[in-house]
């Protein structure tokens, strides 16, 4: 595709895991992909940007570079996350951990998504199109990992909902994505066949999430999803999207977390 016709995406936290997979999948779909990481690494074929998402000026500079080089931005995938100092997994109770955990899990894990969304909207709204997608999880529905993990993920869902309200009629859409168990290299290398009761063989490949995002960006029904939370496994199943093996449709974890509706809240009649 000629460079002037390529759609442009920014994936934050693209050095590994979900971010790496999303960036790689978008690049394979013909997108011009920029990816941020603190060390400036990402999949081959993408443009790696060295960005610390705790630094607002560095984030603004990354967006300025993208606009300077391409003149547009069609997709932001918010995926940056940072673990607290001394963090060794979600094993301790909230009262056994330092309060400063907030600075990483909320200051980066939630705030950085908001900062990037502001920057993206300032490009997308004037051009009249774009998608802002933030990676959330079932930690919004039930206890998962830790108190601050749940706070951050629930914040992302509400953020997408309220941004959707303020982006109405602009041509820009905001959504949050509930990812299930992800088949990261770390998980696959562990030798586990199940994790927290979920079979690893039915979990989501990182690139699966990228294929879901690419399909969302092309979905003619996308405006109707503005402000919504979307379960990636369910959207993938409905649109024929599979894991890297071309056969496996990952399982949704909705039932395991109580079922029920997602954002937006149901409308009550009096």
DSSP string over 65-82: HHHHHHS---EEEE----
pLDDT of residue 269: 45
Provide CB contacts within 8 A for 38, sequence distance 6+.
Answer: 15, 50, 51, 52
- Counting Cα atoms < 13 Å in the Cβ hemisphere of 150 gives 12
* Residues annotated catalytic, as ranges: 149
- Give just the sign of the alpha carbon dihedral 254, 145, 216, 224: positive
pLDDT tens sequence across 161-181? 999 999 999 999 999 999 999
**Residues of the chain predicted below pLDDT 70:** 1-4, 86-89, 265-270
71 and 64 in contact (C-beta within 8 Å)?
A: no
What is the Cα–Cα distance from 243 to 22, expressed in whole angstroms? 12
- What are the phi and psi torsion angles at 13 (to 5°)? 65, 50
β-pair type (75-78, 194-195)? unpaired
CATH number for the region 3-257 comes to: 3.40.50.720
pLDDT of residue 104: 86
Q: Using N-to-C axis directions, what is the helix angle for 56-70 and 111-127, rounded to 10°? A: 30
Cα-based angle 88, 22, 81 (whole degrees, multiple of 5):
30
Q: How many CB atoms lie within 10 A of CB 172?
A: 25
pLDDT of residue 142: 82
pLDDT of residue 1: 45
pLDDT of residue 2: 46
pLDDT of residue 270: 39
- Break the chain into its structural domains and give their ranges: 3-257
Q: What is the pTM of this model?
A: 0.94
């Amino acid at each position: 595709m000629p460079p002037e016709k390529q759609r442009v995406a920014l994936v934050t936290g693209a050095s590994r895991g979900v971010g790496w997979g999303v960036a790689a999948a978008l690049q394979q779909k013909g997108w011009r992909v920029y990816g941020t990481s603190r060390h400036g690494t990402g999949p081959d074929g993408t443009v790696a940007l060295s960005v610390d998402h705790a630094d607002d000026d560095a984030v603004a500079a990354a967006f300025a570079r993208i606009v300077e080089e391409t003149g547009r931005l069609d997709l932001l995938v918010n995926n940056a996350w940072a673990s607290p100092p001394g963090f060794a997994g979600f094993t301790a109770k909230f009262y056994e951990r330092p309060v400063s955990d907030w600075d990483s899990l909320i200051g980066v894990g939630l705030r950085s998504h908001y900062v990037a969304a502001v920057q993206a909207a300032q490009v997308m709204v004037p051009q009249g199109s774009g998608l802002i997608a933030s990676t959330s999880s079932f930690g919004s529905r039930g206890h998962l990992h830790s108190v601050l993990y749940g706070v951050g993920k629930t914040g992302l869902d509400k953020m997408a909902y309220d941004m959707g309200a303020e982006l109405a009629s602009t041509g820009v859409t905001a959504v949050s994505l509930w990812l299930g168990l992800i088949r990261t290299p770390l998980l696959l290398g562990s030798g586990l066949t199940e994790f927290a009761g979920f079979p690893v063989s039915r979990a989501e490949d990182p690139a699966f999430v990228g294929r879901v995002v690419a399909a969302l960006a092309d979905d003619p029904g996308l405006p109707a999803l503005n402000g919504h939370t979307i379960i990636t496994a369910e959207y993938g199943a409905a649109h024929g999207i599979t894991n890297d093996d071309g056969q496996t449709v990952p399982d949704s974890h909705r039932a395991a977390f109580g079922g029920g509706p997602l954002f937006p809240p149901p409308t009550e009649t009096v």
